[in-house]
Each structure stands twice: as structure tokens, then as C-alpha cells.
């Protein structure tokens, strides 16, 4: 299976290096393989989506989207740094909150997961790529400072 993944998807590059390259190479449309949805049963029980054996992908396009539209908002939200993408799998596998998100224009369901990491809350949106691709792809990442009550 690993050999097949490496043949079609970038599975070896360091996440921070991949993020830097995604920003430097605007025509880069690669996906970085982060792992598998190891908590698929828990997610299915929570939001009703079956992600058994699905891969977790970090598209270069998402990194550019986050860089462009998820910067400091003048309040609690801060700009995402390359190293923040290293938390994606931890947030997905050990989330504090999960909910089903909106369906995309292509009819693909999404999930929203969030988790407190140090003094911040990471909120991630993943889009289910479909039965054929058997993957979920990160679509958005927002990081906000925690308020005093932990939210």
C-alpha cells in the first residue's frame, strides 16, 4: 500500500518544506499525504460519515488559500505559519469538537474539527473526496487565541 501511495501522492516531504514550496511554486497542485483517518469509527458515530481506510491529504492549493484568506483579523485570529500544518493530524485524530460541515458545490460533504493546542484553538475543515479517491483533504485552517473560558 505504501508503494502505491508514493507512486501517486507526495508521501515523503516534510510538512514545513511542503508548505514553503506550495507558496513559492504557485502552479504546484500536489497533495501531501499525512496519514490515514485512524479514528474513522469515532467520526462515523459523531457525524455519520464513513471514512474507513481514507487517506488524509494536504493540498498545496489549501496552503495558498489559508495564506491568502486566513490571516490576522485584528482580533483573536492570527496568520497561519508553515509549522502550524504539522498539527493537522493531531487535531483530526484528537479533536475536542466535530461537526458535519456544508456540502461543497461539487456535492462533497465536509467535516469541521477543532482542538485547543497550547493557548490557541485550531479549527480545520476537511472535504470528503469521494468513494473513488478514498481521501479527505484539508480545505481550511483557522487559528484563534483561546478566551479565558477555553473557547
pLDDT one digit per residue (tens) for the chain, 151 residues: 444 454 567 888 999 999 999 999 999 999 999 999 999 999 999 999 999 999 999 999 999 999 887 666 667 888 899 999 999 999 999 999 999 999 988 899 999 999 999 999 999 999 999 878 899 999 999 999 887 655 5
pTM of the model: 0.88
CA nearest to 69, candidates 144, 145, 140, 124: 140
For cell 478566551, the residue is 147
CB 114 within 8 A of CB 122: yes
Q: Other C-beta atoms within 10 Å of 85: how many? A: 22
Domain segments of the chain as ranges: 2-145
Amino acid at each position: 500500500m505504501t508503494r502505491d501511495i508514493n507512486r501517486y501522492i507526495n508521501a515523503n516531504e516534510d510538512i514545513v518544506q511542503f508548505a514553503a514550496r506550495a507558496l513559492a511554486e504557485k502552479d504546484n497542485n500536489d497533495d501531501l499525504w499525512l496519514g490515514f483517518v485512524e479514528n474513522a469509527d469515532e467520526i462515523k458515530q459523531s457525524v455519520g460519515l464513513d471514512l474507513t481506510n481514507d487517506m488524509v491529504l494536504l493540498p498545496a492549493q489549501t496552503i495558498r488559500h489559508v495564506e491568502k484568506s486566513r490571516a490576522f483579523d485584528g482580533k483573536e485570529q492570527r496568520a497561519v505559519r508553515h509549522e502550524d500544518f504539522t498539527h493537522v493530524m493531531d487535531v483530526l485524530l484528537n479533536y475536542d469538537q466535530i461537526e458535519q460541515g456544508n456540502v461543497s458545490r461539487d456535492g462533497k460533504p465536509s467535516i469541521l474539527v477543532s482542538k485547543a493546542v497550547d493557548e490557541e484553538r485550531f479549527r480545520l475543515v476537511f472535504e470528503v473526496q469521494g468513494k473513488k479517491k478514498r481521501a479527505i483533504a484539508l480545505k481550511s485552517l483557522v487559528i484563534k487565541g483561546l478566551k479565558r473560558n477555553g473557547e
